[in-house]
Amino acid sequence: MKILIMHGPNLGLLGTREPEVYGSQTLEDINQLLQTDSEALGLELETFQSDIEGELVAKIGEARGEVAGIVLNPAAYTHTSVAIRDAISASELPVVEVHLSNTHARESFRHQSLTAPVCVGQIMGFGVKSYQLGLKALVDHLEDVL
């Protein structure tokens, strides 16, 4: 079973970007942790990061038929992107939304997610663990529905 991990804008800067909010691990560290988890779960993993909304939309579109599901951190596009929301719906893939920080404990413009309503569920506030829990939740969900 193949799973796609997607990271949105500015997440390539992790490690140096506001470490008090996002922690000190780099994107490479996170992908490596998820790779280790995937091997233990017997999964094939692909990772993808883009700062560009259209590239994220295109990647979700291409993922249909190629992967069993997606763990997605849409980053700032969470709060703005109808296009990513529509891409998730159109893909008919199970998507788990994850965030490093607890967006509800931050500025009010981060309280709304346009993407979460079309996802299977959302996990936030646990740092890198949000991704690990998201991957586990997606696999459990797939085992239930497949």
Residues 75-104 that bind ligand DQA (CB under 6 A): 75-76, 78, 99-101, 103
Distance CA 134, CA 15 (A): 21
Q: Which of 7, 77, 99, 131 is catalytic?
A: 99
Residue closer to ligand DQA by CB (options 64, 104) is 104
Torsion of CA 128, 68, 139, 113, to 10 degrees: 50
Q: What does DSSP assign to residue 9?
A: T
Q: Reply yes or no on whether 99 is catalytic.
A: yes
Query: Residue 3, SS3?
Result: strand
Residue closer to ligand DQA by CB (options 10, 89) is 10
Residue closer to ligand DQA by CB (options 1, 128) is 128
Question: Which helix (H) or strand (E) element contains residue 134?
Answer: helix 128-145
From the list 35-43, 48-56, 58-66, 71-79, the region that binds ligand DQA by CB under 6 A is 71-79
